[in-house]
Structure 1
């Protein structure tokens, strides 16, 4: 009888252990979750896009998505090659990434054209609707949402007028195939007369054209405006080499391009754009939001950034009120 009772006791202990192991009673131990794979595709290398990428990855890390530990971040740079963009987007799809991030319009378009289901976060796209990425900014639809860096075009033209009061013809240089640049130039055409400018457009097909086109432009205008354009940004030093030789200032859209030789801009902080991108990606990964119903976040207010060294080189006097504004709220390169 004692043997039977001992056997029954052991059996109860075993069954009780199994019950707890199988989750019959909830444990306080955190449940294991799948480590997500995040694909990041960057169109090409230049400081502005590199800052967006750094901000994105840093913010993902702060939100708990640490590469190699709690997430796999598969970063690829297409180096401006269209075939690379397509093949990398296809690789992301074939390998089954859990979320993708496209930095700059061509990268986002390549992913969007390849994968219609995996969440895609736009990493600072100037005009997502014009680029065919979303139905509209308020209700993107499908698998896409993200960040739009809207260049404050009116503020830029007003800035040029304050610094260059006598300039009548404004050169505008951009890539003919870049949808973001095309959209901004369309706005410039419309509002330039309000600020007393006649614009003269100069287009390039790729970065190899920049040197020759810049030489031609420098003979015909007294100031140059550059919209958001990754090709021009990657060849900024080539552009500035030619405009400096002719003592002509360049007004670009990003602070990194001012640092590379532009004169002034109302620039949006590219790293902060990356931070916003990283937050939106983390929200989707954590199930806090869905791309289709998450509005595009538009960042359109920039800070004044001046290149005093460039002003001195070109013999241009920056108005005192602008110098004060840049020192207090923006940045001055000396």
Structure 2
């Protein structure tokens, strides 16, 4: 009888030890698995399909930094990221983007990297069955777009980086620059998902401040030019645009209209200021591009599951001022320095370095 009891006790102790061991080592096992995957990356070639929504300074900057960071990570890991033969620009045309994504899937790319919300949504739909990893860049509201279940736990094959805009911070800068504002123009493309939330927030902010606003929209360069003319005719004293790719594409064609009318243009990205707008505020797109590339490497080299990789939202806080435009508008932007984590000065150009 004693032998039987002793045998049972030993069996229970062993079982308990095994259960405790399994619970304690699950994280370690995952770490070991990722380390083994990274070690096996030596000499491997990964096909990276990059799909840019449209040609503009913001998105071009993201792509350039994704590519340069992938080159750096390739050297560090002894592998190759092939992207040159798998990069496409969709020219803001959904039919074209769908064709591009289909071709990339047929090319058996290892990951899709869509730049901007419309492109990310097309990639998501195209990978529901094949579950090719999708790492998006510059999606302002991934949850609202239905790309992820939540930013903290995507829960699918889709994750990436977000350029969510702090609209209130931009408008705070606008009011600090001119505390007597009576009328503000809102310039955006109704078809851009990235603009919907910020424009709603801007209206709420301006209504609370007792400031009149005028909305003008456009989804082509010609329509944006007409919208800018309409805002000038309406007598607005400042214009706000969120991280809107359509307006970004047209900025080089409208900034002089606003300067001639004495109207500062406040926007949701530094690249707007590079293309002539008075001030851009928000995400540093160079950093965003690098972080996107880092996530690609985490998935391909380290073997991480996109479903478990939280969306990375970069901190806002840097204002970029076009000094030429500021001088033309006779605006003193030094008063804004204390309201930002940083203030960068640029002059008008077509692209960032």
TM tier, shorter chain? 0.7 to 0.9
What are the Cα deviations for residues 103-158 of structure 1, in whole angstroms up to 9, with x where unaligned? 11111112112122100001121111122211211111110011011112111000
Matches within 5 A, 1:150-165: 150-165=164-179
Matches within 5 A, 1:1-334: 34-64=44-74, 70-73=80-83, 74-116=86-128, 117-220=131-234, 221-318=236-333, 320-322=334-336, 329-333=342-346
Q: Which runs of 4+ in 1 moved over 4 A?
A: 29-34, 323-326
Change (3 A) 1:190 1:33: same
Q: Which has the larger radius of gyration?
A: 1
C-alpha separation in 1, matches of 2:153 and 2:301? 20
C-alpha separation in 1, matches of 2:116 and 2:315? 16
Contact 1:130 1:183 in 2 (8 A): no
- The offset of 1:92, in angstroms, is 1.2
- The offset of 1:302, in angstroms, is 2.7
SS at match of 1:37: strand
307-316 vs 80-89, greater mean Cα deviation: 307-316
- The offset of 1:65, in angstroms, is 6.9
SS at match of 1:262: coil
Change (3 A) 1:57 1:249: same
31-40 vs 54-63, greater mean Cα deviation: 31-40
How many corresponding residue pairs? 302
Change (3 A) 1:30 1:249: closer
SS at match of 2:319: strand
- In the superposition, the TM-score normalised over structure 2's length comes to 0.80
Which structure has more helix as a fraction of its residues?
Answer: 2
Please provide the CA RMSD for this pair. 2.2
202-211 vs 190-199, greater mean Cα deviation: 190-199
SS at match of 1:209: helix
Contact 1:174 1:181 in 2 (8 A): yes
What are the Cα deviations for residues 18-67 of structure 1, in whole angstroms up to 9, with x where unaligned? xxxxxxxxxxx97876421110000011111111111111111111179x
